[in-house]
Structures are given as C-alpha cells and as structure tokens.
Amino acid sequence: MAVAEAQSLERLNQLLSRLRERVPFYRDRLPTGGLESLHQLAELPLTTKEDFRQTYPYGMLAVPLPEVVRIHASSGTTGRPVITGYTRADLDLWAECMERVYRAGEVGPGDVVQNAYGYGLFTGGLGFHIGAERLGCTVIPTSSGVTQRQVMLMADLGTTVLTCTPSYALVLAEAIAAEAQRPPLKLRVGFFGAEPWSDGMRRQIQYGLGLEAFDIYGLTELGGPGVAVECHEHNGLHIFEDHFLAETVDPETGVPVPRGEPGELVLTSLRREASPVLRYRTRDRTILTDEPCPCGSPFVRMLKVHGRTDDMIVVRGENVFPSQIESILLAIEGLTANYQIVVDREAKQLDSLEVVVEAAPHTDHDRLQELAAERIRETIGLRAEINVLPPGVLPRSEGKAKRVIDRRSV
C-alpha cells in the first residue's frame, strides 16, 4: 500500500486516541499508546453489527449529540437498526467522497442526475444527492418507485446519469422495453449498489438502459455509499484509502488473510467525527488486490462482492451465494436476472434447492431448464430443480431484491 502510508498511520493513531477518549465502547478494548506501523492494526479488536445493536442508539457516537446534524439508519426490517451520525464536517467529507464516485464516470456540471435511490433513513438517497449537488449537476430527486413516471422524467428532462439499486435498474429497463416506442434517452452512465450483483446483470442493465454501469460500495456502518467505486476497467472497485483502511479476514476466525485471497472485508473509517468505526466486519466476501490497475489509480481494489455472509445459504452442506446462481443463469442466453432461490427441507430432512427464473419471450423453456440444471450441478455441485417462467411473473423490487426464500426455518 504505497498510498501515503505515513498519512494513514497518523490518521489511524488520531482515530485511536479519539475512540479511547470519547467512546466508552472502545475505551476498555483498546491498548494505550499509538501504533508504529499499519501492520499492528491486525492486533486491534474487530467491531461487529452486534456491537452497534448493543450500544443502540447513541453508544457509538464520538461527539456530543448537539454536534450531530444528521442521523441515518440501516434498512434492516427486524430488530434495532444500525444508527450512524454525521457532524457538519462529516457531511462535507461524505459529499467529497460521493463527488469522487461520480467522477469515476466523468460526471460533472451539465449532467442531469436522476437519483432513484430511496430517500429517508437509508443512506443511498441523500448520499447520492449531496455528491451530485456538490459537483454542480442538475439533480432530480425522484427517489425509488413510480416506475412509469421515472421513465417519463428520464426522457423529458434529459437524464444523463442514473443512480439506483441494480434490481431497480432492471425494472426501469423492462419498463422502457415495454413502451410502444422506445423513448429518446440520453442516459450515459449509472451507479448501482446496495446489493451484490453479477457481471451478467451488468450486461443486461447496460443493454437495457444504454449506459455504462458502475458498481459502487458502501454501508450504513461506515456512513453509506462513497467507500469505493469501479473505474472504466470494471475489474474491481477502488477503495478510497485516504478515508478508509481496508483489510480482509477469515470469516470464521477473524484472522487477516493475505492480499489476493478471498476473505471478509473489514473497514476502518479514518476521518469520520460523529461515528468513527474501527475494523468493522462488513460480512461482505471479496478479494483485495494490489495489482496495478491500468487506470493508474493508486487505490487498492476490492473485486466485485460475490456475496454477503448473511446472504449465504448452506444447502446440503454446500455454501451457496445467490450471486453465484445469478452468474450461472445469466450466462445462459434466454434467461433473465429475474430469479428467486427457494430452499426447503423434504420429508427425509434433505434440503431441496429450487431456482425460479423468468425467460425472455419466445424461448424454449424445457431446453433452458435442462441447461440451467446442468450448469448449476457442474459449477456448485448441487442438484437444483429449475422452474422457467414467462416474463413478468416474479415480484419486482424498487430497492434491494429478495432473492432467497428459505422455508426451512419456518
């Protein structure tokens, strides 16, 4: 990591002393004194989502509440949400990071940004909003949903940049394809995140919307989007290392794994004032690579997230990520990214795996069924029952798609 290692170390030591001084949760856990090298980071304790829940609502704040000018929270539907706070300086910093996200696609003044991420507690909406405003773009804060109106505004207002979840990008692409006459669109680039998505899905989004699709990364615990973004190579996301330190650890043991090997992404926010976090276990599986990128960026790359530990399903002892199934399906011509995975337990306590997937119109469902079953067996080593459906049958999502239905726990 050639990127200003000395600067990172200095920021890390400042962070440690702030955490010790101001956050009781960290006070007892951190050793006294500073670190002499970034390698010593691995000796510090990890922070988990459970720690956020235990200290809910304000236990992780490092500033008095009056200094907090904004609160966001995770979109989780059960239990206590994860709370993250921002000082005025944090909002500036966030906007700066989001500006950098847009710059990856040469977005600037003159661009019309249609922001179809949900506005509200979720970080996506307001995060993409402040970045685009700061850059001087024209922002259309549509939020998610009301698809027909999104398409109309996209055409009428000359949207050049689209931001939303990849699932919703597909819904928009479908709506455009369903118009009697394709509306005249000026879409150029799109930034899609908040859920894992495959390169197969990228191809469908790019084709359907006529834009270059960038994967972005961030999470509520680290302040939302603006942690990493792809470059034009689309071969991994560059992590903004001047703001976030990245490591990967073994998801079972928490022990660091070397660069180039798969592991769970762990992030430290170096500069956040209100809600700084040390070594947060993201539960996202990725590979960090130091290999130089042809784009010339000095920042380390995280390869496209292939799954979140939470999303991983264990079927007959095999670990399966929905995105693996997605890649297999989308490599088959005629199948679409509208799919669901249904796991159930049969009478003999054997897990059954069913994949329900929509096909394009006028396709041979029997042949697609056979092909998909065969590829899944070859790639994952599991027998799956494939159910190919006509277009438009499965539910559509305005935010994150629900990919797995696990009936075993019911």
Give contact residues for Zn ion (rule: CB under 5 A). Answer: 231, 233, 293, 295, 297
Amino acid letter, residue 95: A
Token pair 């469908």 in the structure block, residue: 204
The position carrying tokens 């689209």 is: 162
In the complex with Zn ion, the residue whose CB is nearer, 297 or 324, is 297
Closest CB 104 distance from Zn ion, rounded Å:
9
DSSP letters of 170-223? HHHHHHHHHSSS-------EEEE-SS---HHHHHHHHHHHTSEEEEEEEEGGGT
Look at strands 385-389 and 351-359 and give their pairing: parallel
The nearer residue to Zn ion, 184 or 296, going by C-beta atoms, is 296
How many whole angstroms from its chain centre is CA 237? 11
Is the CB of 63 or the CB of 300 nearer to Zn ion?
300
Sign of the Cα torsion 332, 336, 337, 340 reads negative
Contact 244, 1 (CB under 8 A): no
In whole angstroms, the minimum distance from the beta carbon of 102 to Zn ion comes to: 16
Where residue 381 falls (left for φ over 0; alpha for ψ -120 to 50; beta otherwise) is: left
Write down the H helix ranges in 187-318: 199-209
> What is the smallest separation between the CB atom of 62 and Zn ion, expressed in angstroms?
33
Q: Compare residues 75 and 297 and give the one whose CB is closer to Zn ion.
A: 297
Residues facing 163 on adjacent strands: 115, 191
**Least distance in angstroms from the C-beta of 246 to Zn ion:** 15
User: Nearest approach, Cβ of 231 to Zn ion (angstroms)?
Assistant: 3
Measured from the CB atom, the residue of 295 and 342 that comes closer to Zn ion is 295
Residue 105 beta carbon to Zn ion: minimum distance, rounded to whole angstroms: 13
Nearer to Zn ion, 281 or 301 (CB): 301
- Residue 166 to residue 135: CA distance in whole angstroms: 23
Q: What does the DSSP 8-state code read for residue 309?
A: G
Nearer to Zn ion, 136 or 298 (CB): 298
Other beta carbons within 10 Å of 296 = 7
**How near is the Cβ of 193 to Zn ion at its closest, in Å?**
17
